[in-house]
Structure 1
Amino acid sequence: MMKKELLIGFLIGIAANIAGSYLYIFFFSEYTLETTLQIALEEDVLGNIIALGAVLTLCAFFIFLKKNQIYRARGAVFAVILASIIVLISKFY
């Protein structure tokens, strides 16, 4: 039961991060999604976009805490840790 709740929280955290990144691109970029991602890769700022998308994951984290779903909140934290590792790797490689 605990592993299932962790997985649900992790998947919701990843989905929130992707949605946050998309919303950032949608509202603050004058280009299409594909063009913005291509430019971000060329200018080495894709990690910044992923990090900004993680803000929406924090909203999911606090909702889980408010509903006393501790294991789902832990899954959301794992999703933030994964996003941090991806940002770290994109900065150095």
Structure 2
Amino acid sequence: MGHVKKEILIGILVSLFATFSGFFIYLEYISDLSFSETIYKIRQGGVLGSVIALAAIPNLFVFWVFLKKRQDNRAKGVLITTIAIALFTVVLKIF
């Protein structure tokens, strides 16, 4: 059972890395401002949830790769992270 948990954790970590990479790349190409200024403007504009949701798009590719390689437990980790990000964006939009 420990092997399954390890594989799911690897999927979660890869998914988080893909999301943070997507977030960073999105901010670098969308804004001429510095990273911290862009974050401030996004939070001020109330679109942080939308930006995070867009940043999670690379998870689709990661999920697909894990499924193609028959690494189902890693794909489960990606799915868990993606659902958590979706719930987080809903919370950000509500509050």
> How high is the TM-score relative to the length of structure 1?
0.95
Distance 2:5 2:89 in 1: 26
The aligned residue for residue 31 of structure 1 is 33
User: TM-score scaled by structure 2?
Assistant: 0.94
Q: 1:23 deviation in Å?
A: 0.6
Aligned to 1:52: 54
SS in 2 for 1:47: helix
Following superposition of structure 1 onto structure 2, how do residues 3-14 of structure 1 map, counting pairs within 5 Å?
3-14=5-16
Unpaired runs of 5+ residues, structure 1, are none
Runs of 4 or more above 2 Å deviation: none
Q: CA RMSD in A?
A: 0.8
Report the Cα offset of residue 32 of structure 1. 1.5
Q: Which amino acid aligns with 1:32?
A: S
Structure 2: gaps (5+ residues):
none
Distance in 2, Cα, partners of 1:47 & 1:30: 20
Q: What percent of counterpart residues are identical? A: 33
- Pair member with larger Rg: 2
- Counterpart of 2:45? 43
Per-residue Cα deviation, 1:3-57 (whole angstroms, up to 9, x for no partner):
1101110111111111101111111112111111111111110011100011111
Give the count of matched residue pairs: 93
